[in-house]
Each structure stands twice: as structure tokens, then as C-alpha cells.
Structure 1
Amino acid sequence: MKRLFYAWFNSMRGLRDAFGSEEAVRQELMLLAAGIVLTPFVAGSASHGALLIGVLLLVLTVELLNTAIEKLSDHVAPERHEAIRYVKDVGSAAVLCSILIAALVWGAALIDHIFI
């Protein structure tokens, strides 16, 4: 139990730090909050609701990993470096892919809600 307590504490500290330093994390947390509020009105079932919230958590997860990569890259190589640019761009592309997945899932749910 002690390990779980410290893991929770460290995770919450990481989330707080990312929230304080990254605009994208703040935006995605606001999107998650809005999604949690809207899900009961859009989802046709509990499993659909879990999927809608889950894809927003996926976006936040990928953004947090991308933020960690960027912070580590800046610490290791503060000067401009082509390999670091590549790593950061790939991380950014991963965030974009997760956003597209979320947009597809939410778009399909909204179409179902409106037209079915």
C-alpha cells in the first residue's frame, strides 16, 4: 500500500507540474472535463460513455508523454539539435494521432446521437 500511495503522490505532482507549465495539458484537461459533463447526454450506453471518456484520457496521456519527452530533451540538449527536433516532432505527431482518434470517436457518437 505504501508504494501505491507514493506512486499516486508522484503522479499527482507530475500532473500538477504539467498543468502549471504546459498550455496544451491545461486545454486537454478542460476538454476532458467538458467531455465528462457531455458524455451522459451523448453516450447510448455505459460502454459508449467509457469509450468517449477513455479517448479523451488517451489524448491527455499522449500529451503528458510528449511533454515528458520535450522536457527531457530540453534538459539533455538545450541547444538546437536535429535529432532532438526529430524526437519532439514525432512526439507531436503522436499527440495529433490521439486527437484524431478522439475526434473520430466523438464525431461518430455525435452523429449517432443526432441522427439515430
Structure 2
Amino acid sequence: MSRFIKSFGYAFSGLGHAIKTQLNFRVHLLALALVTASGYWIKLTITEWLWIIGAAGMVLVTELLNTAIEVLTDLVSPELHPKAKIIKDVSAAAVLVAALTAVAIGLIILIPKLLCHAA
């Protein structure tokens, strides 16, 4: 049981590392805070919240995996190498795809509601 509890400590340590060192992760958290505030203001439905939570989780998970892949790549290939660049570029592309998908989901949900609130 103590190993199980320690694993949470390791996970929170990794999360703290990402927050402290990764600007993009902090930007995603700020965007999530703004979307959350907007969602409360316009009273999203449970289904809409599920889509927002899923999209946000997808972005944060891919950002964390991207960070881990970049650190691992730097560890095994400290010198510049064309394949190391491809690895980093592809993992960054995964974050981009996740973020663009989340933006599309957010816009589909939020724009109609914001337009109704403005009217």
C-alpha cells in the first residue's frame, strides 16, 4: 500500500515539474481556467462539461507526454541528432493536434451560447 501512496507523490512531482518548467503547460492551464469560468457563466450542460473536460484532459496529457519524451530524448541523445529532432517534433505535433481539437470542441460548444448571452 505504501508503494501505491508513494506513486501519487511521484505523479504530483511530475505535475509540479511540468508547471514549473513548461510554459506551454501553464498556457494550457490558463486557457482551461478561462474556459471553465466561461462555462460556469453560461451554464454549460453536463454533456457539454464532459466534452470540455475530455478535451482539456487530452491536451494536458499530451503536453505531459511531450515533456517526458523531450526529457528522455535529451537524456539518450544529448548531442543534436536528426532523429532526435524528429522525435521531438512529432511529440510536439501531437500536442498541437490535441490543442486544435480542444479549440474546435470549445468553439462548437461556447460560441452559440455566448452569442445567445450577448443577444
**TM-score between both structures, scaled by the size of structure 2:** 0.86
> Given the superposition, is the C-alpha separation of residues 31 and 109 from structure 1 closer, same or farther in structure 2, using an over 3 Å criterion?
same
| Structure 1 residue matching 2:79: 3-state secondary structure | coil
The residue number in structure 2 matching 1:35 is 35
Deviates more, 1:37-46 or 1:79-88: 37-46
Contact 1:52 1:105 in 2 (8 A): yes
* Cα displacement string for residues 12-31 of structure 1 (whole angstroms, at most 9, x for unaligned residues): 10010111111111111222
The residue number in structure 2 matching 1:57 is 57
Measured in 2, the distance between the counterparts of 1:65 and 1:33 equals 21
1:75 counterpart = 2:75? yes
Q: CA deviation at 1:33?
A: 2.2
Q: CA deviation at 1:104?
A: 0.6
Measured in 1, the distance between the counterparts of 2:57 and 2:92 equals 17
Letter in 1 for 2:74: D
* Cα displacement string for residues 51-97 of structure 1 (whole angstroms, at most 9, x for unaligned residues): 11221121111011001000110111111101111111110110110
Q: CA deviation at 1:112?
A: 2.5
Measured in 2, the distance between the counterparts of 1:114 and 1:37 equals 12
**TM-score between both structures, scaled by the size of structure 1:** 0.88
Letter in 2 for 1:52: I
Unmatched tracts of structure 1, length 5 or more:
none
Q: May I ask how many residue pairs the two structures share in their alignment?
A: 116
The residue number in structure 2 matching 1:105 is 105
Alignment RMSD (CA, Å): 1.7
Letter in 2 for 1:87: I
